[in-house]
Amino acid sequence: QKEVEQNSGPLSVPEGAIASLNCTYSDRVSQSFFWYRQYSGKSPELIMSIYSNGDKEDGRFTAQLNKASQYVSLLIRDSQPSDSATYLCAAIFGNEKLTFGTGTRLTIIP
């Protein structure tokens, strides 16, 4: 069974600090990885996609992919209260369906 694993949290981070979210996956052939943000009662919203080893930055968000170690992470710099949400890691294994982790609940403390 191809899986995506996340620490469910909750993760609490002071406002202005860096929030670090981690995700591991089971299948070495995975090529496409995504981070979604989901506010309570809402649908997932795409934050970042990453396909190559290394870092990808978009504003306050940086995704990091390490295929050798089979993990992908999301860093949120200068965390804001509006970043409080559940963050879903997802991967596409080969040509198959998008598989999600259970999500990490992040709370930014003012």
Min CB(92)–another protein separation in Å: 5
> C-alpha angle 85/88/92, rounded to 5°?
160
Peptide bond into 44 cis (omega under 30): no
- Contact window for another protein (CB under 8 A) among 9-17, 57-65, 68-76, 87-95: 87-95
Residues within window 5-44 making contact with another protein, judged by CB under 8 A: 31-32, 34, 36, 42-44
- Structure token pair of residue 35: 């981070």
Count CB neighbours of 89 within 10 A: 27
Please report, as ranges, the residues that interact with another protein according to CB under 8 A.
Answer: 4, 31-32, 34, 36, 42-46, 49, 51, 88, 90, 92, 95-103
